[in-house]
Amino acid sequence: MDSFINLTNQSQGRDRIFRATQYACALAKYLLRNDLKRKVVVQKLQSLESSMSSGRK
């Protein structure tokens, strides 16, 4: 847990976490895009991906 706290205390570490979250959302969105039952989930993933992208700037 201490290593995670140390990582998030650095701007480079926070950027890596944001980037990993952004890419994970993009992957999940890609995998779920054709499942009509998951349309709401895909929209939420898109929103989270956009937020992570904006947070990195």
pLDDT in tens, the chain (57 residues): 788 787 778 888 888 888 899 999 999 999 998 888 999 999 999 999 888 888 776
Give the C-alpha separation, 53 to 41, whole Å: 18
Where do we find the tokens 């480079």?
12
Q: Is 52 in contact with 18 (CB distance < 8 Å)? A: yes
What's the pLDDT at 29? Answer: 93
How many Cβ atoms from other residues are within 10 Å of residue 25's Cβ?
A: 21
